[in-house]
């Protein structure tokens, strides 16, 4: 049993990434949570590969006693070596599309499958996966970025179904997607050229903004996608 004075428990998955590392640090600075940081590049008990369900299941088992109040999933894939967002349909490649789907949509859904059941029962719990505005179908005016857009749209749809199912287990659960804005990390590095002045956030600033948004959410917000300024993003 968790002692009353014990801090709440948070797990950050993808804590080796630009935003994930900043989220873990911001939570530690706030002091309200005991923070467990998991990542693919970690070794031992902190290791998780979200492209491998066995690895996800083992990580969830190791974390089960933590009964987390908060889980932040900050993993994601936009480019890797020569592979990046598709400019046109001639660039579509089945293997690259499948990998983007695996990391951006399937992996997060399997993380939810194994980690939602270990969250604290009763009371408000928050599970948030980082998504992207380009995952909004109604907001797609420019086209391109086929795999990233579609895998984030799939993530958003998965989040909605997960939220509906999980509400029946815990009516005070919050399961959402969060868009961090354009953030100065390795993921956005090659695409920062057109970012308007003042709109490229440091990872530290993005982390604080996302935690503020998450703090204000209510169970009625579960299943939705929110931007860094608290605005809901249309599907």
Q: For the purposes of burial, counting CB atoms within 10 Å of the CB of 58, is it exposed (0-12), middle (13-18) or buried (19 or more)?
A: middle
| Nearer to ligand NAP among residue 17 and residue 147 (C-beta) | 17
Confirm or reject binding of residue 66 to ligand NAP (CB under 6 A).
Answer: no
Looking only at residues 135 through 174 of this chain, which bind ligand NAP when binding is defined by CB under 6 A? none
The DSSP secondary-structure symbol of 131 reads: -
Residue pair 223/175 in contact by the 8 Å Cβ criterion: yes
Following DSSP, what letter does each residue of 172-230 receive, concatenated?
TEEEEEEE--EE-STTTGGG-TTPPTT-EE-HHHHHHHHHHHHHH--GGGTT-EEETTS
Confirm or reject binding of residue 18 to ligand NAP (CB under 6 A).
Answer: yes
Among 17, 85, 147, 177, binds ligand NAP (CB under 6 A): 17
CB of 100 to ligand NAP, least distance (A): 10
Q: Exposure pattern of 81-108 as b/e (b: 16+ CB <10 Å)?
A: eebbbbeeeeeeeeebbebbbbbbbbbb
Confirm or reject binding of residue 37 to ligand NAP (CB under 6 A).
Answer: no
Confirm or reject binding of residue 188 to ligand NAP (CB under 6 A).
Answer: yes
Looking only at residues 190 through 229 of this chain, which bind ligand NAP when binding is defined by CB under 6 A? none
Sequence-distant (6+) residues with CB within 8 A of 75 are 13, 14, 17, 20, 40, 50, 103, 107, 108, 130
CB of 171 to ligand NAP, least distance (A): 28
3-state secondary structure of 83: strand
CB of 192 to ligand NAP, least distance (A): 8
| Nearer to ligand NAP among residue 20 and residue 147 (C-beta) | 20
Specify the residue for token string 């009516």.
171
Confirm or reject binding of residue 14 to ligand NAP (CB under 6 A).
Answer: yes
Confirm or reject binding of residue 185 to ligand NAP (CB under 6 A).
Answer: yes
Confirm or reject binding of residue 132 to ligand NAP (CB under 6 A).
Answer: yes
CB of 9 to ligand NAP, least distance (A): 20
Confirm or reject binding of residue 114 to ligand NAP (CB under 6 A).
Answer: no
Which stretches of the chain bind ligand NAP, using CB under 6 A?
14, 16-20, 39-41, 48-51, 74-77, 103, 107, 130, 132, 179-180, 182-183, 185-188
């Amino acid at each position: 049993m968790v002692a009353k004075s014990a801090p709440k428990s948070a797990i950050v998955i993808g804590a080796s990434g630009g935003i994930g590392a900043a989220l873990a640090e911001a939570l530690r600075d706030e002091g309200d949570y005991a923070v467990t940081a998991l990542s693919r590049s970690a070794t031992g008990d902190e290791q998780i590969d979200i492209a491998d369900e066995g690895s996800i299941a083992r990580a969830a088992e190791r974390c089960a006693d933590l009964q987390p109040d908060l889980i932040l999933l900050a993993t994601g894939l936009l480019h890797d070596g020569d592979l990046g967002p598709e400019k046109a349909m001639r660039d579509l490649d089945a293997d690259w599309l499948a990998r983007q789907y695996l990391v951006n949509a399937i992996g997060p859904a399997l993380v939810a499958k194994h980690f939602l059941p270990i969250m604290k029962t009763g009371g408000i719990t928050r599970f948030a996966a980082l998504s992207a505005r380009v995952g909004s179908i109604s907001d797609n005016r420019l086209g391109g970025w086929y795999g990233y857009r579609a895998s984030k749209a799939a993530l958003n749809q998965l989040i909605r179904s997960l939220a509906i199912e999980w509400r029946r287990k815990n009516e005070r659960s919050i399961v959402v997607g969060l868009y961090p804005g354009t953030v100065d990390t390795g993921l956005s590095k090659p695409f920062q050229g057109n970012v308007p002045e003042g709109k490229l956030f440091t990872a530290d600033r993005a982390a604080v903004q996302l935690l503020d948004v998450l703090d204000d959410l209510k169970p009625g917000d579960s299943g939705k996608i929110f931007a860094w300024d608290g605005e809901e993003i249309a599907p």
